[in-house]
Amino acid sequence: MTLAPRMDAAPEVRIVSAELSPGPRVAHALLLAAALSGTVVTLSLFITEPDLPLRTRAALAVLSLIGMGWTGYALWVLTRRRVLYARQQVVAGWMAVSFTSVFTLGALAIGIGSGMPVGFAAAAMGGAMVGAALLLLSRARRRLTALTAKRRALETQMAEGVR
């Protein structure tokens, strides 16, 4: 049995059916499980291994914070009564830009501070990830802007129809 809306159904039925779609819910539940698992592992290492070098402990702390961020995002999405995919994509886009930027700056600092070429290689890969995150954020913002404009137009039409 499929939960996909029938194409001959009324627009309201198609919208509600799309909102209740289990696919995005399952994807966000998987994100929650992965983020929570990663956070537990990195936080456990941070807490139980006090003799690790300072830069390793700093990396574990940053990874734990990033994991907590994605965990919070997934919980936010899953606890919403209504689905706001466009807004959620913008929030996720900003998080991705922020987190990949932190990674890139950290890798660059390791490259400069230690003179290790692998730090510069990681920073270059991080730069590519920042670029990809910026593209996704830009696309999400354009979609949200278009949907907001469409909503305003429909509200205006409804207000004029009521008069």
Alpha-carbon distance of 39 to 36, in angstroms, equals 5
CA nearest 137: which of 83, 161, 101?
101
Cβ within 8 Å of residue 92, ≥6 positions away: 73, 140
Alpha-carbon distance of 89 to 94, in angstroms, equals 9
User: Is residue 12 predicted with pLDDT exceeding 70?
Assistant: no
Q: Locate the domains of the chain by residue range.
A: 9-83, 84-153
CA nearest 77: which of 69, 88, 66?
88
**Contact (CB, 8 A) for 92 and 139:** no
As given in the structure block, the two tokens for residue 44 are 């456990």
Give the model confidence (pLDDT) of 14-27 as tens digits.
Answer: 555 555 477 888 88
CA nearest 63: which of 42, 46, 41?
42
What does the mean pLDDT of the chain come to?
87
Q: What is the DSSP string of 58-78?
A: HHHHHHHHHHHHHHHHHHHHH
Per DSSP, 36 falls in state H
Alpha-carbon distance of 107 to 125, in angstroms, equals 9
User: What angle is formed at CA 149 by the lines to CA 23 and CA 8, rounded to 5 degrees?
Assistant: 50
Residue 41, burial from CB neighbour count under 10 angstroms (0-12, 13-18, 19+): middle
Q: Residue 161: its pLDDT value, please? A: 79
Q: Residue 3: its pLDDT value, please? A: 46
Quick one: pLDDT band at residue 86, thresholds 50, 70, 90? confident
Give the model confidence (pLDDT) of 96-147 as tens digits.
Answer: 999 999 999 999 998 999 888 999 999 999 999 999 999 999 999 999 999 9
Lowest mean pLDDT among 6-15, 44-53, 91-100, 130-139: 6-15
